[in-house]
Structure 1
Amino acid sequence: MITFETLCVRVGGVPAEEIQHWIDSEWLRPEGTRGHYLFREIDEARAILIRELRHDLGVNEEGVPIVLSLLDQLYASRRQMLRLREALSIPRENELRSKLRGLLAMMPD
């Protein structure tokens, strides 16, 4: 876990007030309360992504939550697919598992 101050340094090139705005807008969701925030590694990665969206790619204020929501959905779907793949890799056979394997084999990558 890292502090707000450490996050500001690691994100780089973004004023602390702007990062606070990201928290107030719920683009970042640290643990703790204002003045006592703690950030996980994933929060740092998300902050860097937000900086890239805003500063490098020019995504406007209204577009950021849309992009973040779509990425969150994409990553959630990816996690579900990985769990499904893991469940299907269990050696036991049954009819449902066989049908799912067949359906997944027909899907394009």
Structure 2
Amino acid sequence: MITLETLCMRIGNVPQDEVLGWIDSDWLRPEGGRGHYLFREIDEARARLILELRDDMGINTEGMPVVLSLLDQLYAARRQMLRLREAISVPRENELRSRLRALLASTQD
């Protein structure tokens, strides 16, 4: 876990007020409360993503929540698919695995 000051330095000397704005906008969700925020590795990656979306892709303040929400949904769907793949790879559930494979094959149309 890292502090706000450390996060700001690591992501390119971004002003603390800017990162606090991201927190207020719910783009970042650190642990702790105002003045005592602690950031995980995933928070640092998301902060870098916000900068990339803004600086490299030109996403403005109004568009950022939409883009972040869509990316969150995409990552959640990906995690679900990975769990599903693990579930159907278990050999003891042959009937369930066959039914799931058939269902997945029919939804690819």
TM-score, normalisation: structure 1: 0.90
Letter in 2 for 1:75: Y
The CA distance in 1 between the partners of 2:20 and 2:77, in whole Å, is 29
Which segments of 5 or more consecutive residues in structure 1 lack a partner in the other structure?
A: none
Deviations 1:4-32 (A, max 9, x none): 01100011142211111001111001000
Structure-to-structure mapping, 1:1-109, within 5 angstroms: 1-105=1-105
The CA distance in 2 between the partners of 1:74 and 1:52, in whole Å, is 18
Kindly state the Cα deviation for residue 61 of structure 1 after the two structures are TM-superposed.
0.5
8 A contact 2:4–2:37 mirrored in 1 = yes
Which segments of 5 or more consecutive residues in structure 2 lack a partner in the other structure?
A: none
Deviating 4+ runs (over 4 angstroms): 105-108
The CA distance in 1 between the partners of 2:55 and 2:21, in whole Å, is 15
Q: CA RMSD in A?
A: 1.5
The CA distance in 2 between the partners of 1:101 and 1:24, in whole Å, is 43
User: Partner of 1:9: helix, strand, or coil?
Assistant: helix
User: Partner of 1:14: helix, strand, or coil?
Assistant: coil
Q: Percent identity?
A: 75
Deviations 1:49-102 (A, max 9, x none): 001111221111011010100010001001111111001011113433211123
8 A contact 1:14–1:51 mirrored in 2 = no
| Count of residue pairs brought into register by the alignment | 108
